[in-house]
Amino acid sequence: MTTDNSAGTSVDTPTLSAADFANDAASASLGDSFRAYVDRIRGGDMGALPAVLGLVVLFVVFSALRPDTFTSNLNIANLLTQAASISVLAMGLIPVLLLGEIDLSAGVTGGMAAGFTAVAIERNDVHWTLAVLLGVAVGALVGLVMGLLVAKLGIPSFVVTLAFFLGLQGVILKLIGLGGSVAVRDDVLRALTIKSMPVVMGWIVVIGVLASYGALLFWRQSRLAAKNLQRPPNALLAIKFVGLAVVLLAMTAFLSQNRSRVPTFVIEGIPYAVLVVGVLLIFWTFVFGRTPYGRHIYAVGGNTEAARRAGIGVDRLKISAFVICSSMAAISGMISASYTGSVSPGSGGGNVLLYAVGAAVIGGTSLFGGKGLIRDGVIGGLVIATIDNGLGLLNQAAYINFIITGAVLLLAASVDAISRRRRSATGT
């Protein structure tokens, strides 16, 4: 009915735009957006800010305590590789968390999927590509079954995934054998975490990513400007872009130095695991930020009933989120197996899952659903890996490590809960 019908109210937009959607008019100034950002934070919407600040603090503290080891090229590269499996698992968990659900089995699912891959390669001589596909397929299958149980039977995801957490450990035990382990000796799989991209290739990838990102920002901004729709100030975009460019270029330069301790052997370049994380980050950010599918996931997390009434297939979305989570868990399990060089019955158990949930929450994803970004998993994964790595260098007893990581998770969950209360109070 909007424009062409009946008398009276044909669209009088031009006269409206000035006053009525005042905040949308033209582009705001840098100061305005900064004030809006401060308001958002005070209103409880902190996003990844605590994680980024935490990362800075951790780096300062560990650099001060272990100046010669923590900031060495070798350790930083190692830290990034350590973070890779946590980040991938956390990125996988985020769709499930966005729905307000939880997957407690993700770590074990990853261990089991990596077990299938390793057994296929080592004991059955399957080519690594097929073995990796097998592992991901096993993960996806686990996710499908859990998703069906949650969506169709209506069992709380907490219970379903807890049952799988226990049950799948039995499957790994049967697969690998009590007390045994399967070595991961495949050249390609091992290279994922112990080899790095050639220096030139690293630069090409990083510069390519930056150029594409810059072009995308510019293109989107000019289209918004052409239609005079709401958009961030150009200066803000420039700051964001330059900030990202500085971080990525500095990291590449840092990793492009030879970090080998042995003069005869050169280790340089960006670890392949970092590339894998980057590709997954870009892919899922696109899916959850720019497609109707992603939008619907957020909608279900925000108000399931509203989503259902809008014609969204809630059950199918739930199932798909569990499939994504378990498939990503499989990839994470393989990265982890590549790093340790073997899969054992304990792979993916212990604190693996809590690290990943902690990473997502620290990064700014809410446990209450509806709020979070894929990048939270990567930022949070870096925080967790830094704590793990730094405490390891301090030669603390294992118990300190557990207590501190637990405390950090609790702190992040508290920040999440408090910010949620502030959001509902201030309505931002």
Partner 1 sequence: MTDHTLLELRGVNKSFGAVQVLHDVDFKVYPGQVTALVGDNGAGKSTLVKTIAGIYRAESGEFFFDGAPVQIHGPKDAAALGLEVVYQDLALCDNLDIVQNMFLGRETVTNGVLLDELSMEDRARTTLASLSVRTVKSVRQNVSSLSGGQRQTVAIAKAVLWNSKVVLLDEPTAALGVAQTRQVLDLVRRLADQGLGVVLISHNMVDVLEVADRITALFLGRVAADVKASETNHSQIVELITAGRSGDIGISAATANQSA
Report the residue from 310, 400, 410, 417 that binds partner 1 according to the rule CB under 8 A: 310
Nearest to 272 by CA among 218, 358, 201, 216: 201
- Residue 125 interacting with partner 1 (CB under 8 A): no
Return the H-helix or E-strand segment holding 40.
helix 30-42
Q: Which is nearer to partner 1, 154 or 311 (CB)?
A: 311
For residue 231, what is the DSSP state?
B
Does the protein bind partner 1 through residue 311 (CB under 8 A)? yes
Q: Is 267 in the site for partner 1 (CB under 8 A)?
A: no
For the CB of residue 289, give the shortest distance to partner 1 in the complex, in Å: 8
Please calculate the CA angle 152-156-160 and round it to the nearest 5 degrees.
85
For the segment 14-43, give every residue that binds partner 1 (CB under 8 A).
Answer: 16-17, 19-24
> By CB under 8 A, how many residues form the interface with partner 1?
47
Q: Does 227 bind partner 1 (CB under 8 A)?
A: yes
Query: Does the footprint of partner 1 cover residue 307 (CB under 8 A)?
Result: yes
Which of 135, 269, 301, 381: binder of partner 1 (CB under 8 A)? Answer: 301
Q: Which stretch binds partner 1 (CB under 8 A): 1-9, 115-123, 149-157, 340-348?
A: 1-9
x/- mask, partner 1, residues 280-299, rule CB under 8 A, reads: ----------xxx--xx-xx
CA distances from 130 to 135, 232, 386, 400 (A): 9, 46, 33, 41
Cβ-proximal residues to 227 (8 Å cutoff; 6+ apart), any chain: none
Cβ-based burial of 183 (10 A; exposed 0-12, middle 13-18, buried ≥19): middle
State the minimum distance, in angstroms, from the CB of residue 100 to partner 1. 11
Residue 140: φ, ψ to 5°? -60, -40
Kindly report each contact of residues 22-28 with a partner whose C-beta sits within 8 Å and lies 24 or more positions away, as own/partner: 23/230, 24/229, 24/230, 25/228, 26/228, 27/225, 27/231, 27/232, 27/233, 27/234, 28/232, 28/233
Of 29, 230, 260, 396, the one binding partner 1 by CB under 8 A: 230
Q: At what angle do helices 106-124 and 314-340 cross, to 10 degrees?
A: 50
312 near partner 1 (CB under 8 A): yes
- Shorter beta-carbon distance to partner 1: residue 57 or 306: 306
Nearer to partner 1, 20 or 166 (CB): 20
Q: Please give the radius of gyration of the chain, using alpha carbons only, rounded to the nearest integer.
A: 23
Q: Which is nearer to partner 1, 28 or 76 (CB)?
A: 28
> Which of 370, 377, 380, 390 lies at the binding interface for partner 1 (CB under 8 A)?
370
Nearer to partner 1, 345 or 370 (CB): 370
Contact region with partner 1 (CB under 8 A), list: 176-184, 310-318, 331-339, 404-412: 310-318
| E runs forming strands in 214-305 | none
In the DSSP assignment, the letter for residue 343 is E
Read off φ and ψ for residue 407, nearest 5 degrees: -65, -40
Among 2, 129, 264, 395, binds partner 1 (CB under 8 A): 2
Quote the least distance from Cβ 218 to partner 1, whole Å. 15
Q: Which residues contact 259 (CB under 8 A, 6 or more apart)?
A: 72, 73, 74, 77, 267, 268
Q: How far is the CB of 373 from partner 1 (least distance, A)?
A: 12
Per-residue tokens: 426: 């201030």
CA distance 147 to 318: 6
Binding residues among 398-427 for partner 1 as defined by CB under 8 A: 423-424, 427
**Which residue's CB is nearer to partner 1, number 291 or number 414?**
291
Residue among 138, 110, 188, 140 at smallest CA distance from 322? 140
224 near partner 1, judged by CB under 8 A:
yes
> Burial level of 60, CB count in 10 A (0-12/13-18/19+)?
exposed
Is 225 a binder of partner 1 (CB under 8 A)? no
| Region near partner 1 per CB under 8 A, out of 130-138, 141-149, 224-232, 388-396 | 224-232
Q: Name which of 190 and 295 has its Cβ closer to partner 1.
A: 295
Q: Footprint of partner 1 on this chain (CB under 8 A)?
A: 1-3, 5-6, 8-13, 16-17, 19-24, 223-224, 227, 229-230, 290-292, 295-296, 298-299, 301-303, 305-307, 309-312, 370-371, 423-424, 427-428
